[in-house]
Amino acid sequence: MSRRWRWSALEAQIPLPELPAFHRAFLKLHRPELAAETLPLRRVQQYVSQTLHLLEKEGKAWSVEGDFELELDCIPLPYRRQLSD
């Protein structure tokens, strides 16, 4: 089994001003049809939550103590590189 990354820990590593870009990159990776770069931030946040639940149903994310754990390939590449250092 590959290492899993806790969603809240990942978000905590990203500077606050960069979180919207991270969330949009996450949606672009998993739901490109949403055109996340054109969505208002509130909608992006809603879709991120929805997408985490969808990934859980697909067996690509796991709910753990009110949080999610993801495998590395579920994280957008630029942020994945940060974690694998």
Residue 68 · residue 56 · CB < 8 Å:
yes
- pLDDT tens string 23-46: 999 999 999 999 999 999 999 999
Please report the pLDDT score of residue 84 as a whole number: 54
Residue 28 CB burial class (10 angstroms; 0-12, 13-18, ≥19): middle
For 36-78, write each residue's pLDDT tens digit.
Answer: 999 999 999 999 999 999 999 999 999 999 999 999 999 999 8
Q: Which residues of 56-82 are buried (b: 16+ CB within 10 A; e: fewer)?
A: eeeeebeeeeeebbbeeebbbeebeee
